[in-house]
Each structure stands twice: as C-alpha cells, then as structure tokens.
Amino acid sequence: MKQTLEIRWHGRGGQGAKTAALLLADVAFMTGKNVQGFPEYGPERMGAPITAFNRISPEPIRVHSNIYDPDYVVVVDETLLESVPVTAGLSEEGAIIINTPRSAAQIADKLSGYNGKVITIDARGISEKTLGRNFPNTPMLAAVVAVTGVMEKEDFFKQMKDSFAHKFAKKPQVIDGNMKALEMAYMVAEKAI
C-alpha cells in the first residue's frame, strides 16, 4: 500500500501556489509527518505558469524529484486548463481541485478526458469576501486538506492559526480574514467530496 501522498500544484507567479505548497509541508510536519514542499523553478515572473509539489508521508521520504504521477492536482488559476496539461499522470483514484466559480460539469471538456473526482471551489470569491482581495492560495490550501484528508481538521486549523499569528503578529485583522477563508473553503470542499 502506498504510504506517500503526492500533490502537484499549478498556478501563476504571484498567486501563492508555491507559498501554499510550502505552508502545507510546514503544517503537515508540525503534525508529525515527513514532508517535502518545493517549487519547480523556471522563468520566475509574475503571471508565468509555475508548478510546486508536496510529498507527505508517515514514513521517511527517499525520493527527491518532481512528481509526475500525483495523487492530487491543485489548479490555482483555471486559465491554465487551456495551456498546461494539468491532468498529466493524475491518478483517477485521487482528485483534481480547481479554483473556479464553475461546476465540474462546466469544465469537464478542459480536463483531457480525466475520469477521476473533480472538485471546484471559488477560491477567488472566498478570498475577496474574507480578505477583501484575491488571494486564492489560502482557500485552496484548506480545500486540499479537506479533500485529501492528509491531517485532522482540528490539527490543521490549530497549526494554521499559530502560523498566521506568527506571520501577521501586528495585523490581527489579517489573521481573522485568513482563518475565515480557511473555514469557508474547508466547508465547501468537504461538501463536494
């Protein structure tokens, strides 16, 4: 049985996909798991397609490469469905999680015949409602945890609150907004599973 959970993130520079992947690794590590969280470096510029990866396991991780056959794929920018083969190698036992206000049926034709689970979440709408700006990485992070079940919900929220409290110590309103974004996205993703 496969112990290691592998996640591939697709986004655009400046949307926080790399940050979300690294934060997921940090939070999973704090819950006692072995982790990897890393980006694939290329032409790093605002708006350019980027890829980031996570491996999370109860056992030591001995593989050190990009992820070509992920269990889950996260698409932070739905426009990438037109130009990047986001479903390449994706296990039909896992899922693809896409930031879009549209339903899975409405975007099915853009998924190259992928027959696994498709979860859509309006991360932009959630972040604009809770943070006042488009920061899709926070809601997408919560959706990933909800869909994958990689850690207990309570552990996730506790670790995230601690992380935000450290990062935004002088901006408590940012902590509250991010926590609301996490909670809302987690609830939406949980219902979609």
Taking 80 as the threshold, does the pLDDT of residue 159 lie above it?
Answer: yes
- In whole angstroms, give the CA distance from residue 39 to residue 176: 28
55-88, pLDDT tens digit by residue?
999 999 999 999 999 999 999 999 999 999 999 9
Sequential DSSP letters for 31-91:
TT-EEEEEEEPSS--TTSEEEEEEEEESS-----S--SS-SEEEES-GGGGGTS-TTTT--
Q: Which of 101, 147, 105 is nearest to 126 (CA)?
A: 101
Residue type, 53: F
* The predicted structure's pLDDT at residue 72: 98
167 pLDDT band, cuts 50/70/90, is: confident
* The predicted structure's pLDDT at residue 173: 84
Integer Rg of the chain from CA: 15
* The predicted structure's pLDDT at residue 78: 96
How high does pLDDT run on average in the chain?
94
Sequential DSSP letters for 78-137:
GGGGGTS-TTTT--TTSEEEEE-SS-HHHHGGGSTT--SEEEEE-HHHHHHHHHSS--TH
Structure tokens at 111: 């998924």
29-64, pLDDT tens digit by residue?
999 999 999 998 766 677 889 999 999 999 999 999
* The predicted structure's pLDDT at residue 44: 64
Report helix, strand or coil for 143: helix
